[in-house]
Chain A
Amino acid sequence: MPGAPTYPQFPLRAPLSGRRASCSDAEVPACRGRAPAAGDMLPKPRSRGRPSSQADRDGGRGGDGRAARSAAAEEAPSTSRGAGGSQDPRRSSSQGGRRADAPLVVGPRSQKQLELKVAELVQFLLIKDQRKIPIKRADIVKHVLGDYRDMFPDLLHRAAERLQYVFGYRLVELEPKSNTYILINSLEPVEEDAELRGDQGTPTTGLLMIVLGLIFMKGNAVKETEVWDFLRRLGVYPTKKHLIFGDPKKLLTEDFVRQRYLEYRRIPHTDPVDYELQWGPRTHLETSKMKVLKFVAKVHNQDPKDWPAQYCEALAEEEDRARPQASAPSQASARSQTSTRPPTSAPSQTSTRPPTSAPSQTSAPAPSS
């Protein structure tokens, strides 16, 4: 595995290796080792670009990555070298033992280089979070930091600060010590935002909101069979393709789980086997019981207080969060995870209202998220 890291780059850059998110060595110099001036970010590629493009002109397109790569090896003082001189950027064992031999390699890194690293990290996090897949520390190190891995905490912290200040996104760890991260919007979404978005949000959010509501109202866990019983009334079936939601079964049991909105666990000793759905860590971080309760209430055209048990629970969670804690996000998730079905929610008759007003729920998919 090459020691020089990259993060996803469009392969039209001189390297032309075209592998998505791979550690192609030649891609490395493209983003480092420069004193960037606005608009002139790429002195190195210029010289690399020409040879490869001429090769293109002469010998047909493609396969010029190699020329680019060797040129890159000579020219690019990649930022991971720091004060280094003529190291081969493709040295694959730059970590561990090598470093002990050549301490100068990890020499003083210039402000500019660090700044560029933080910039790459910020972009990496933004892109990754777009897919709603939690970002692993290992991926960050592999694709962005590489030789800068020793500076992970510092760089991550700087990136987090930039994300919050510039974009209004909070970088949080999904669960304590999980080494996976997501971005939470610190700006409250506003209804008119939806009209002005370019990506139309996702229609599947509506389904997610309904299920989250159901889970909470039923005491924070619900059997999969119950979920389908409920959704059937809305015309959503596990086995039938849905016009808006596509494959609801896949959404609930795979996509939302992968995005950490839901947890999907097998219930032991059930025959036929049944599963249980709960809120996932991302849900706890992105929303709250109170918000979901308000959503459910709105759908029924009622007041959250009409469900006293759930209202109390939501209120308790609000108070918990308001209390200044050392590590707020992890607290929130930890606490919510441990709040098991309180016996008091046994009076689930209150939460059986949904069936009677199910038809009105068809207009529900206008989530407050």
Chain B
Amino acid sequence: MQGSSRRTGTMTDVHRRFLQLLMTHGVLEEWEVKRLQKHCYKVHDCNAPVEKLEDFIHNINSVLESLYIEIKKGVTEDDGRPIYALVNLATTAISKMASDFAENELDLFRKALELIIDSETGFASSTNILNVVDQLKGKKMRKKEAEQVLQKFAQNKWLIEKEGEFTLHTRAILEMEQHIRETYPDAVKICNICHGLLIQGQSCETCGIRMHLPCVAKYFQSNSEPRCPNCNDYWPHEIPEVFDPEKERGAGLSKPSRKSLRPRQH
């Protein structure tokens, strides 16, 4: 039936197992995805050479296209780690999320999202979010309950919590970027380098343009005198290091604490 003239890839059990397992995660880091890929090869087809991840994913995406789903690659805003998420293209916003949360919970998320987008730092304090609990649609929610809902969002990787403040998880950005840009066109911040949606980043104190931390890292790499690409003024912030996967794996498997990154620099 899907015999359309589109040039689509071929699914094998390797790809199917990969997809099934990928679906159990909301988002995965690149090294985890590679491990998953290797595992699936091992289970089904030990002898075949493991395809390059980029091609492997591209192949699957060409099949997923007709289902309006995509495995999207992104980069974490704080330290530039590559990550992958399965996003829904057709109805965009998180139908998965919608089925896991109640109306008032979703509204809480929406409020948090708006506060995050409006904030200077890309973080909204727990206090500010909880203050709007009275305005939520649906069943009345108490602050205590709202705190737990926010934790649930963090556990499910829609939000990230840092020291009592919340920002958007990369997964949410990947899934919702388009929707956010359309719904809040005046409030959203855009990175001057990659032109993608920007929640956390650094900004020029003179002209106000903003850049993602990983974009800053790449742009100013080995530049001893970083200057704003827009107004040429001296760039006043600490330049983060470019993410190096090799260094990361050496240090251990958990998220490293990058010494040079203070996520909220403006």
Give A residues with C-beta under 8 Å from B.
Answer: 7-14, 16, 18-21, 30-31, 36, 38-39, 41-42, 45-46, 49-50, 52-54, 56-57, 61-62, 111, 115-116, 118-120, 122-123, 126-128, 130, 158, 161-162, 165-169, 185, 187, 190, 192-193, 196-199
Interface presence of B178 (CB below 8 A): yes
CA distance A152 to B26 in the complex (A): 31
How many residue pairs link A and B with beta carbons under 8 A? The number is 179
Contact partner of B111 (CB less than 8 A), chosen from A61, A115, A123, is A61
B21 touches A49 (CB 8 A): no
What is the distance, in angstroms, from A189's C-beta to the closest C-beta of chain B? 9
Interface presence of B255 (CB below 8 A): no
A158 touches B1 (CB 8 A): yes
B67 touches A168 (CB 8 A): no
Please name 10 pairs of A and B residues whose Cβ atoms are closer than 8 Å in the assembled complex, sorted by A. A9-B98, A12-B109, A12-B113, A30-B91, A46-B182, A49-B183, A116-B68, A119-B67, A123-B69, A190-B43
Q: Mark B76-105, 1 if CB is under 8 A from A, else 0.
A: 000000000000111111111111011100
B96 touches A127 (CB 8 A): yes
Contact partner of B90 (CB less than 8 A), chosen from A11, A31, A49, A167, is A31
Q: Which residues of A contact B138 (CB under 8 A)?
A: 18
B137 touches A62 (CB 8 A): yes
Q: Given A8-B95, A10-B106, A166-B63, A185 and B20 touching (CB < 8 A)?
A: yes
Q: Which residues of B contact A38 (CB under 8 A)?
A: 65, 70, 89
Q: Which residue of B lies closest to A195 (CB)?
A: B39
Q: Which residues of A contact B244 (CB under 8 A)?
A: none
A12 touches B90 (CB 8 A): no
Q: Which residues of B contact A36 (CB under 8 A)?
A: 68, 89-90
Q: Which residue of B lies closest to A11 (CB)?
A: B106
B24 touches A187 (CB 8 A): no
B19 touches A12 (CB 8 A): no
A168 touches B183 (CB 8 A): no
Contact partner of A20 (CB less than 8 A), chosen from B13, B103, B179, is B103
A20 touches B98 (CB 8 A): yes
Q: Which residues of B contact A54 (CB under 8 A)?
A: 186
Q: Which residues of A contact B207 (CB under 8 A)?
A: none
Q: Given A46-B182, A119-B66, A187-B20, A165 and B106 touching (CB < 8 A)?
A: no
B92 touches A13 (CB 8 A): yes
Q: Which residue of B lies closest to A122 (CB)?
A: B67
B91 touches A31 (CB 8 A): yes
Q: Which residues of B contact A130 (CB under 8 A)?
A: 99
Q: Which residue of B lies closest to A130 (CB)?
A: B99
Q: Given A12-B183, A18-B107, A41 and B135 touching (CB < 8 A)?
A: no
Q: Given A13-B93, A53-B185, A111-B4, A168 and B63 touching (CB < 8 A)?
A: no
B99 touches A127 (CB 8 A): yes
A62 touches B92 (CB 8 A): no
Kindly list the 7 A-B residue pairs having the minimum CB-CB distance in the complex, ordered from nearest. A198-B25, A168-B16, A10-B93, A198-B24, A10-B94, A49-B182, A10-B98
B186 touches A57 (CB 8 A): yes
Give B residues with C-beta under 8 Å from A.
Answer: 1-2, 4, 11, 13, 16-17, 19-21, 23-26, 28, 35-36, 39, 43, 63-70, 88-99, 101-103, 106-107, 109-111, 113-114, 135, 137-138, 176, 178-179, 182-187
What is the distance, in angstroms, from B84's C-beta to the closest C-beta of chain A? 12
A193 touches B21 (CB 8 A): yes
Q: Which residues of A contact B137 (CB under 8 A)?
A: 18, 62
Contact partner of B99 (CB less than 8 A), chosen from A16, A21, A52, A158, is A21
CA distance A18 to B101 in the complex (A): 10
Q: Which residue of A lies closest to B2 (CB)?
A: A162
Q: Which residues of B contact A116 (CB under 8 A)?
A: 68, 90
A11 touches B95 (CB 8 A): no
Q: Which residues of A contact B17 (CB under 8 A)?
A: 168, 187, 193
A39 touches B35 (CB 8 A): no
CA distance A53 to B182 in the complex (A): 9
CA distance A118 to B70 in the complex (A): 16
Contact partner of B98 (CB less than 8 A), chosen from A11, A57, A187, is A11
B92 touches A41 (CB 8 A): yes
CA distance A45 to B93 in the complex (A): 12
Q: Which residues of A contact B183 (CB under 8 A)?
A: 12, 14, 45, 49, 52-53
B135 touches A62 (CB 8 A): yes
Contact partner of A119 (CB less than 8 A), chosen from B68, B98, B176, is B68
CA distance A368 to B93 in the complex (A): 36
Q: Which residues of A contact B70 (CB under 8 A)?
A: 38
CA distance A54 to B184 in the complex (A): 8
What is the distance, in angstroms, from A312's C-beta to the closest C-beta of chain B? 32
What is the distance, in angstroms, from B75's C-beta to the closest C-beta of chain A? 17
Known interface pairs A16-B110, A120-B91, A190-B43; 11 further A-B residue pairs with C-beta atoms within 8 A, sorted by A's residue number:
A8-B98, A10-B94, A10-B95, A12-B93, A18-B103, A18-B138, A119-B68, A127-B99, A158-B1, A185-B20, A193-B17
Q: Which residues of A contact B65 (CB under 8 A)?
A: 38
B99 touches A167 (CB 8 A): no
What is the distance, in angstroms, from A157's C-beta to the closest C-beta of chain B? 8
Q: Which residues of B contact A118 (CB under 8 A)?
A: 66-67
Q: Which residue of A lies closest to B61 (CB)?
A: A38
Q: Which residues of B contact A45 (CB under 8 A)?
A: 179, 182-183
CA distance A115 to B69 in the complex (A): 13
Q: Which residues of B contact A197 (CB under 8 A)?
A: 21, 24-25
Q: Which residue of A lies closest to B178 (CB)?
A: A42
Q: Which residues of A contact B19 (CB under 8 A)?
A: 166-168
B16 touches A167 (CB 8 A): yes
CA distance A161 to B3 in the complex (A): 12
